Structure 1
Amino acid sequence: MEDFLLSKSSAELKLYCKKLGLSQRGNKDRMVQTLITNLNTPENLHKADNLLPKEVIEAFNRQLASQAFLPISNSEIRIIRCICLNDQGICQQCSKCKQLQHIRCIGDHGKIRPYLCPLCILEKINPLDSCVEVLISAWTVKQNFSINGPGVDIAEKSFEYKIATKNLVETGQGKYQIQIRCMKLDGQSLMMTWPLKGFLIINGKISMRLETSSNPNSKKRKDEPLNITTILTLGRNTVSLIKCADPSSYAVSIYLVYMKSEEQLIEEIVKTSRISIDKSKDFIKKILKSDDEELISDSIRLSLKCPYSLTLLDIPARGQNCEHIQCFNLVSYVQMQRSSRVNRWRCPLCKGFVYDMIIDSYLEQIMKEAEDVEGAENFEIFYDSSYKILTCGEIELPKKNTRAEIECIDLD
């Protein structure tokens, strides 16, 4: 970054400082340090987005990306896949697709760690409904305030419903749908979330009314993707989302999806999403160590039972981003998601989202051994990756304090 700015003339550096309201005093080196000091954070750089030349923005963007997020090459830094569809501005990198989104567009959503862009989340929001084709990439329904508070905001997009897509849907025996999906960009709601109040209009006709009950005792609204297959016409279709009196921003996308059965999803995960025994052992060591490489604990005790079904784990799985060793049973978990009203695709242990699941091969090996141990309920796993299966009789329960065990101190 410093070398890049030093390649500029003193007059150019003074102009940059002037536009940003920074001190123009000192020699060239001092102005370079002033710019670096003041613009080396996403928040401050965002303010300079429209004030500095594109090449300067990209240089700072590259610096921030290498510091705060995953390392990216010079060729990748220019790949911007944002919900605004523009290609200039200060960006943040998605940990999954490795592409960039503007900080100004994603708002509070950018606080998520690990950061996942709205496009990746909307595509993965229901693993049972697999995205086959993106018909409209995510666009935003932004905040719109009037003098009296949040006002009305309208976001409209058009797309071509092609004959090839229509034929696939019609011959797919009900396995294909055109779905419209929506999520709130608040950094918390990483799930299907429609605006609190408004309308979804397709080709000039109201397809869905959005409203919430004022009765506190009524059931919470269950927001789901909307199947718009039968509403569309061959050729050009226009979709409008109107939100009323809602201060939040939203991202909306339309997809052609293939609806998998639970068995298909489970089979797919078993075949393609398994971590090796060696990687599992490395993960265990990472969990048992602190950031400064000090040993937190030499072992950890885990349950052999699924937190969902309370039966012995058959296929131990967890979310790809989960930071715990304990697993849930893949079959039980997937089967329960279709009918679940709330907390869909959330880990029962850490409450993180598990749109991508992995099977732990090492824990799977332990589970198979535990099947032959009568009364096995838990196991203890050590830092060196060795383990011990525990039966009911071997589990030490914490002692309760009794009157005799309480130490009394005589103050007289």
Structure 2
Amino acid sequence: MEGIESSGKVNKPVLRVSPAVSNNVKLVWTHDYATYSYFYYAVYLARKRSTRELCEALRRHSFQSASVTKQKIIEKLASTAASTNTTDDADLVIENTLPVQLLCPLSKCRIDLPVRGQNCQHIQCYDANTYLLINERKPAWRCPVCDVPAPFHELLVDGLMLEILADTMAENLEEIIFKEDSSWSPVGKFGSPSNAQHATGATSASWADKNPPFPKLQPPPLSCSTCPPELPTSSQRFFQPSEDA
């Protein structure tokens, strides 16, 4: 552990993690009668929890329903001009559509448990397990998308993104786009969205469905000048009548 950023260093050599050895803390201070300053000390007994336990706790206690995110998308796209001019908005709104990555901005891998801070204004999420592992190593607790503080107790699991990530139609996708009615569409192979709107109940069409393969080209027939001479068959070769007959 490297300690919290912008804080004093942690004196690790004096820490004994063995349960058979006690850790003694000695406090020495000098009272300043001129300023009448008071100091308080506290001792916390803590137990280290695994990232798996923390992710399960987020699923149980910090779940945000899909309807909340849908309403947020509708409001965001209803005021496109205001959204693009807002300094704390990390989403990119283009032509009344909102692109969202299904890859974690930290690990560049597919998101497993989508979370973001409760003070974040964007829709983009990041993977909870990756975020916790990074902050376990070097605690910063700042959103990787908009850089606002995002401590553990303020993380929210996005129910809508969780549904999309579990959908088979988004299994091989890296990016989707949201539309004004909060429906989403997969992004095609060349970055163009398909015609289907999955959230409205229509079947999503893949890029291959929209772009049928080219017909197979048949080789041109050989001309008579290039054709090899026809060889006689075995019957013609051995049973050809003679000219004397």
- TM-score using structure 2 length: 0.55
Specify whether residues 253 and 314 from structure 1 end up closer, same or farther in structure 2 by C-alpha distance, changes over 3 A only.
farther
1:323 aligns with 2:100: no
Whether the aligned pair in 2 keeps the contact of 1:308 and 1:328 (CA below 8 Å) is yes
Q: 1:353 aligns with which of 146, 149, 152?
A: 149
User: Which letter does structure 2 place at the counterpart of 1:385?
Assistant: S
Partner SS, residue 388 of structure 1: strand
Q: 1:314 aligns with which of 106, 112, 127?
A: 112
Specify whether residues 330 and 290 from structure 1 end up closer, same or farther in structure 2 by C-alpha distance, changes over 3 A only.
same
Summarize the alignment of residues 171-186 of structure 1 with structure 2, pairs less than 5 Å apart.
none
Partner SS, residue 187 of structure 2: strand
Q: Distance in 2 between matches of 1:348 and 1:264?
A: 22
Aligned-pair CA distance for 1:252: 8.2
Aligned-pair CA distance for 1:288: 3.1
- How many aligned residue pairs are there? 165
Higher normalized strand content (fraction of residues)? 1
CA deviation digits over 1:229-282, x for unaligned, max 9?
Answer: 8223xxxx74659xxxxxxxxx98634133222222111111110101111112
CA deviation digits over 1:105-162, x for unaligned, max 9?
Answer: xxxxxxxxxxxxxxxxxxxxx9xxxxxxxxxxxxxxxxxxxxxxxxxxxxxxxxxxxx
Q: Distance in 1 between matches of 2:118 and 2:28?
A: 34
1:254 aligns with 2:52: no
The equivalent of 2:24 in structure 1 is: 231
Whether the aligned pair in 2 keeps the contact of 1:301 and 1:379 (CA below 8 Å) is yes
Aligned-pair CA distance for 1:384: 1.4
Higher relative contact order (CA 8 A, sep 6+): 2
Aligned-pair CA distance for 1:375: 4.1
The equivalent of 2:7 in structure 1 is: 194
The equivalent of 2:190 in structure 1 is: 393
- TM-score using structure 1 length: 0.34
Q: Which runs of 5+ in 2 are unaligned?
A: 17-21, 31-38, 85-92, 194-245
Q: Distance in 1 between matches of 2:79 and 2:29?
A: 50
| Paired-residue identity, % | 23
Q: 1:383 aligns with which of 180, 187, 195?
A: 180
The equivalent of 1:205 in structure 2 is: none
Whether the aligned pair in 2 keeps the contact of 1:314 and 1:329 (CA below 8 Å) is yes
Whether the aligned pair in 2 keeps the contact of 1:192 and 1:225 (CA below 8 Å) is no
- C-alpha RMSD of matched pairs (Å): 3.7
Q: Which runs of 5+ in 1 are unaligned?
A: 1-125, 127-180, 182-190, 196-222, 242-250, 397-412
User: Which letter does structure 2 place at the counterpart of 1:321?
Assistant: N
Partner SS, residue 283 of structure 1: helix
The equivalent of 2:222 in structure 1 is: none
Q: Distance in 1 between matches of 2:166 and 2:102?
A: 11
